[in-house]
Amino acid sequence: MAGHSHRALTENLRGILALLERDQTTAREYFLKAQASNPRQPIGFLNCAFLDVHEDRFEEAIRNVEKVIYPTYWPMTSNPVLLSSAYVIKGVAETESKKFKAAEASFQKAAALHPQSSEVYVYWSRMLRKSGRPAEAERKLFQARQNSVFFENYPEMALLYFWLTEQGDQPLDRRTSQAEAL
């Protein structure tokens, strides 16, 4: 199993490199290979879900994320940062599907798991803005900026290299800051 585990991590990183080269097709292929090499490793599922959201395949994104976070008493990973990232991706998919209550619950869970996250609050702010709650959105964005000093990078997570765009036909936005200006 150890060989498969290492292979899965390598395949996942090759997917990240493909994303950095703006080759989403190859990135997805490597993320799927990572899942096949080690179905118990959450990163391949999370990065596929990230691409699903970017490509406006929201239900597929939620299905991929749910493989990592459910059942909640036995998640695929106990790492709170990775679980938080899963809930952020789920929240973005729910936001784009206009399921604002579900999205808010996902962002609340993400923030509870990783209170020092900046991206939780950036995407939560976007959801609040889209649901007509601009004052709350500003407070969440302020929190994102406050938390940016605590940024922790996981090289295997696409969510930490790119901002999800709100239109699937746009190229991924490379992150240049921890809390974007909306």
DSSP assignment of 134-157, as one string?
HHHHHHHHHHHHHHGGG----TT-
Residue entry with tokens 């106990």: 78
Task: Determine the pLDDT at residue 154.
Answer: 62
Write the DSSP string, 10-46: HHHHHHHHHHHTT-HHHHHHHHHHHHHH-TT-HHHHH
Task: Determine the pLDDT at residue 35.
Answer: 94
The tens-digit pLDDT sequence of the chain (182 residues) is: 444 788 998 999 999 999 989 899 999 999 999 999 999 889 999 999 999 999 999 999 999 999 999 877 777 888 898 899 999 999 999 999 999 999 999 999 999 999 999 889 999 999 999 999 999 999 999 999 888 877 665 666 677 667 777 666 677 777 666 555 44
The gap from C-alpha 120 to its chain's centroid, in whole angstroms, comes to: 9
C-alpha distances (whole Å) from 167 to each of 26, 85, 151, 174 are 20, 20, 26, 15
Task: Determine the pLDDT at residue 3.
Answer: 47
pTM of the model: 0.85
User: What is the token pair recorded at 124?
Assistant: 């939560």
Give dist(CA 27, CA 12) in Å, integer. Answer: 8
Residue type, 73: Y
Give dist(CA 85, CA 153) in Å, integer. Answer: 12
